[in-house]
Structure 1
C-alpha cells in the first residue's frame, strides 16, 4: 500500500479524533478527567465499551486464529458475558456506594494501606507493560508502511505515536475517552463489516453462500468437549473467560473508569449488559472475517506465514481496491491508539490517586500533579516501547503478556476475599502473599504436563492465582492493625 495513502488516512483519522477530544474535553476539571463527572449516558458508554475491549493486537490476531482454534474463542467470549454480569451486579453497586475515584481505594478501606499500594502497583506494572507492547506492535506496522519508506528512524516513530496519544488525552481524560472510544467502535464495526463484504464479493458469495462457505470450511467449530487436557476444552475456556473478564475489566482501573462515569449504578449495569452482548457479535464478525481471509488466500495462492500476518497481508494486497487497505489501516489505528489512550489515562489516575495520593490537596495542586504524572506516563511508555524494539525478541513480548495476566490473579484474590469474607487480616503481610501466588502458578504451569498426565494449563491459571491469594489471606486472618481495614457492614455485605 502506498505510504502516502497510509499517511493521509492516519492524518484524516487523527483530525477527527482531535476534534472529538477537544469538544468532549473542554472545561474538564479533575473530576472530569478521573470519572467524567459521572454524567455519561449509559448507552454512549455501552457503545464506547464495545471498541475499548478490542486492542490493535486483537484486531489483527483474532481473524488469524481460526486456522488453529476455529471458532473456539467464542467459548471464552461466552464466559466474558457471564463475567460482565458479575461485574454489573456485584462489583458496580459496591464501587458506586463507596463513591470511588480509583477502584483500588476499596483495598485500603477493607484491609489497609499495604494492600492498597499492592493492588495499585500490580495494576501499574501490568497496564504499562501491556499497553506498551500493544503500541509497540502497531509502531512496527507503521514503521513498515510509513516511516521506513521515507527513511525515518524508529525512535521518531515512537515519539510521534506517544505524543499523539498524549495530546488527545491530556485535556479531558475519561470525559474525552468516552467519545473517542465511540469513534473507535464505529470505525471498527464499519471496517470489519466492509472488509467482509468486499472479500465475500470477490469470492462470488452472497450472504447465504458466505454463511454456507464458513460452515463448510472446517474452521467454524465452536465447542470442544472431547479432550480435557486440551487448552481448547470448553470448561477451561468458559470459566477462564468469566474470571478473566472479572479480573481484567471489573478490577482494572482502565476499564472501570468508563463504567464509573455513568450517572448511577443502574445506568452502569445497563451499559455493561448491553456491551457484553454486543461484544459477542463483534468477535463473531472477526472470526467470520478470518475464515473468509483464509479461503481467499487459498484461492489466490497467497502464502501466509504467521497467523497475525493474514489480515494485513490480504487487506493491503493488490487483489482489492485501495479502500480495503484504507479500512484496515483505520481499524488498526483506531483500536491501537484508543487502547493506548485509555491506558495512559488510567495509569495517570491510578498513579496520582493511589500512589502519590490526593487527600488533603487543593484542586489546583491535584491538577498540577496530575498533568506532571500524565507527561511522566507518556515518557515511560515511550521508553518501554523503544526498549522492546532494542531487544527485538518475540519471546520478550510473550513473557510480558504472561506477566500481565499473572498480575491480575492477586488483585482478583484480594477483592474476592474482601467482598465474601468479613474477617480482618494482617495487612502488612499481604504483599508477600501476592508475590508468592504467581510464583506457585509459574511452578505449576512449567510442570503440569509431567505432574498431571499431560494436562496443560491455559487461561484458567488466573483462577488458580486468585485462589492461592485467597487461601493466603485466610492464613492471615487476625486482629486489625491500628484500626485499619475496618469497614461498615453495609459495605462488606453485598
Structure 2
C-alpha cells in the first residue's frame, strides 16, 4: 500500500514538470521568459496567483485553526483581501500594463529614478529569499512526517534539495509560462483534495456531525469583539480583517513583484483586472473549503484536542487524516497535492526574483544597453543562482529554533509598508522627488523594525498581564503612513519640480 502511494507521488511530480515544459514552449526572448509576452489566459494567471500565495503551511494550518478556535475566521480575512485586490486592479494595474513594464519597480524608476528602483528591488529579493527560504524549510517538516508514514525517512536537507531541483528544471527552461501552468494544476489538485476530504468526512459524520460542528462554534465567521486592544492584536477582529486586510492585500498584490509579475503576463488591462479580483474570490473559496475540513474533522474526532489524538499541534490534524482516514492512492494523491503547494510557491519566487534582479538591478545600472538574448541568459542564470541560495538558506534553518522562523514569517511587516508607501508617495505627493522617497523608505524600514520587534499591547483581563504584538494586517498601514508622512515633509524643503513641457504635436501633411 505504501508502495502505491509513493508511486502516485512520483508520477505526479514528473507529470507536473512535463506539463509545465510542454505547455510553456521554447522561450525565445526575455519578455517571453518573464511575462509570457503578455499572452497568458487570465484564468490561468488567476489560479497561479492563488497557488503562489498558498504554501504547505496554508494547506495544513487553516484546517487546524478551524478545528481549534478560529472557526471560519480566515474567510473573514478574505473579504478584506478582495477589497484590497479590487483597489489594486483599478488604481495600479492600468499603470503597469500601459507602461509596458515587466517589473512593478519600473514604475518607481519612471517616477523617481533608478536608485529607488534598485533599492526596492534589492529589498524585494532579499526579503523574498528570507521568507521563501524559511517557507521551503517549513514545507520539508510536514513532508518528512508524511513520507515517514510511507516508510521513508529522507531528512530535511534531502527534501529541500529534491524539491528545489525538480522545481528549478521547469522554472529554468519554461519561464513564467511553465510556472503559471504548473501552478494552475497544483492549485486544482490541493483544492480537489479538500473537496474529497469534505465528501469523505460528511459520509462519516453525517448531518449530525455538521450540526455538532455548528453548535461547537466551528462555523463562526465574524469576530464582533470591538475592544481596542483586541482590534490591534487579533487578525480576526472585524476592522482588522477588513481595513487592515485590504491595505495588506494592496501591498502584497500591488507592490510585491512575486504577484505583480503574474498579473503582467495577461493579454490586456481588463484581463489583468479580472485575474486579480477573481484571485481574491478563489482565496475566499479556498479558505472556506479548508476551514470546512477543519470543522468536520472536529466532529469526526468528537472534539478531542490534538494532544489527546497524539499530535504535537493542530497542524498535524489534516495530514493525519489524509494518511489514516483516506483510501490508498487517494491519500498518496493528496500528499502530492501538499508537495505541489510547496513547489508552486517556490517556482513563483525563483522566477520573480530572477525577473527583478535582471530588469531592475542589472539592466537599470548597466552602462550599456543589453540585448534581449543577454537578458534571457541572465534571467536563466539568476534562476539557478537564487535556487542554490534559497536551498542553502533553507538548509541552514534545519537546526534552528522557532524564534527565527517566527521572525521570518513577520518579514512582510518590515518592508511591505515601505514598498506600498513608495508607490503611493509617487501617486499622491506630486512634489516628492527621489531623495524624499529614499529617505522615507529608509525611515519606514527603521520604524517598522522597532514596531515589529518592540511594540506589544496588554490584552490581559481581570488584573492579568498578557502582551501581544500588533496584528500583521496593521503593520502595512503603519508603514504606509510613515512613508507618506516622512516623504511629504521632506518634499516641503525643496522647490516643487517643474512640469515637463508636452511634446509638440506631429504635423501630418
TM-score, length of structure 2 as denominator length: 0.87
Q: For 1:321 and 1:223, how far apart are their aligned partners in 2?
A: 35
Segments of 5+ residues of structure 1 without an aligned counterpart are none
Q: Over residues 22-51 of structure 1, what are the superposed CA-to-partner deviations in whole Å (9 max), with x where a residue is unaligned?
A: 112221131111111101122332233333
Cα gap change, 1:404/1:273 in structure 2, threshold over 3 Å: closer, same or farther?
closer
CA drift at 1:312: 1.0
Q: For 1:273 and 1:488, how far apart are their aligned partners in 2?
A: 37
Q: Over residues 237-266 of structure 1, what are the superposed CA-to-partner deviations in whole Å (9 max), with x where a residue is unaligned?
A: 211211111111121111111111111101
Match of 2:290 in 1: 286
Secondary structure of the 2:345 match is helix
Match of 1:104 in 2: 105
Match of 2:402 in 1: 394
Q: Over residues 184-225 of structure 1, what are the superposed CA-to-partner deviations in whole Å (9 max), with x where a residue is unaligned?
A: 12102211100111122122x15xx56534322212111112
Match of 2:475 in 1: 461
Match of 2:52 in 1: 52
Q: For 1:380 and 1:487, how far apart are their aligned partners in 2?
A: 44
Q: Over residues 358-383 of structure 1, what are the superposed CA-to-partner deviations in whole Å (9 max), with x where a residue is unaligned?
A: 66101222122222211110100111
Match of 1:436 in 2: 446
Trace 1:187-266 onto structure 2 (pairs within 5 A): 187-203=189-205, 205-206=206-207, 211-228=210-227, 229-230=229-230, 231=234, 232-266=236-270
Q: For 1:368 and 1:18, how far apart are their aligned partners in 2?
A: 21
Q: Over residues 92-146 of structure 1, what are the superposed CA-to-partner deviations in whole Å (9 max), with x where a residue is unaligned?
A: 0111121111101111221223321221122112211221222212222333344
8 Å CA contact 2:133, 2:394 repeated in 1: yes
CA drift at 1:464: 0.6
Q: For 1:294 and 1:9, how far apart are their aligned partners in 2?
A: 29
Trace 1:345-356 onto structure 2 (pairs within 5 A): 345-356=351-362
Match of 1:16 in 2: 15
Q: For 2:349 and 2:343, how far apart are their aligned partners in 1?
A: 10
Match of 2:373 in 1: 364
Secondary structure of the 1:219 match is coil
Secondary structure of the 2:320 match is helix
TM-score, length of structure 1 as denominator length: 0.90
**Alpha-carbon RMSD:** 2.8
Q: For 2:434 and 2:103, how far apart are their aligned partners in 1?
A: 23
CA drift at 1:448: 6.5
Q: Over residues 288-341 of structure 1, what are the superposed CA-to-partner deviations in whole Å (9 max), with x where a residue is unaligned?
A: 111111222237863443121111122212x43224522430221111111111
8 Å CA contact 2:63, 2:294 repeated in 1: yes
Q: For 2:357 and 2:382, how far apart are their aligned partners in 1?
A: 7
Match of 2:506 in 1: none
8 Å CA contact 1:63, 1:289 repeated in 2: yes
Segments of 5+ residues of structure 2 without an aligned counterpart are 504-509
Cα gap change, 1:146/1:108 in structure 2, threshold over 3 Å: closer, same or farther?
same
Aligned residues: 481
Trace 1:34-113 onto structure 2 (pairs within 5 A): 34-66=34-66, 67-113=68-114
Q: For 1:403 and 1:170, how far apart are their aligned partners in 2?
A: 27
Q: For 1:73 and 1:8, how far apart are their aligned partners in 2?
A: 34
Match of 1:127 in 2: 128
8 Å CA contact 1:147, 1:154 repeated in 2: no
Q: Over residues 49-104 of structure 1, what are the superposed CA-to-partner deviations in whole Å (9 max), with x where a residue is unaligned?
A: 33333221100111111212222222211001101101110110111121111101
